[in-house]
Amino acid sequence: MKIEKENNKFMIEDALPPQQFKALFDMFFVNDFPWFFGEVVRPEDVDPKYKDYNFHFSHTFHNFSQVATHIEKWNTIKYAVMDFLNPLSFIRIKSNLLLRTSTPIVHGYHVDTICPSCLTAIIYLNNNDGFTLFEDGTRVQSKANRMVIFPSFLKHSGSTCTNTNRRVVLNINYIPFANDRFAEVLNKEKI
């Protein structure tokens, strides 16, 4: 594992141990995983030139104080990320699947939650040319088992990919303990 801090974001390579990452990967890349169709961002946040592409597939695992999926799927998620993130509380955990497009589509800047003490962790599940783009210009490429952690109040946007049939990420919004190693990025004065 390699952790770097850049522009109030932590970039982590090989974030999860191989066995935990494989359990996540295997769960998402089976043919019978339940994906649900919906909007990527709110209509008012979508880039107007991509309004016809504001759709993706997602699966919610946890929403505020309750598990929102089958217990076996929740246990896979919990086992994979709990030790690494050690959250005080989860706000929301969901996976996103974006289909291949002929050119990259960047949907629009948004925040996942307005909770001021919340962090967002994105785990990339497969290698592809898609990315997460931040308003400050930082671009994080999708690479299997890469993770980026940042304050949830930072505007960001995901993209589609062009070199494989799908881009899959796991998006975790959580409240860290005050002494958590990643909590320092919540200090707005340093941003």
Residue 172 near residue 93, CB atoms below 8 Å: yes
Residue pLDDT, tens place only, 137-171: 999 999 999 999 999 999 999 999 999 999 999 99
Instruction: Tell the residue number behind the tokens 């490429």, with chain if given.
Output: 141
pLDDT at 80 over 80: yes
Give Rg (Cα) of the chain: 16
Amino acid letter, residue 57: F
Cα atoms in the 13 Å half-sphere on the side-chain side of 191: 15
CA distances to 47, 64, 71, 144 from 127, rounded to whole Å, are 25, 30, 28, 5
CA-closest candidate to residue 95, choices 140, 35, 19: 35
Residue pLDDT, tens place only, 93-128: 999 999 999 999 998 899 988 888 999 999 999 999
Whole-angstrom distance between the N-terminal and C-terminal Cα of the chain?
A: 25
Neighbours of 184 (CB within 10 A): 13
The pTM of the full predicted model, rounded to 2 decimals, is 0.93
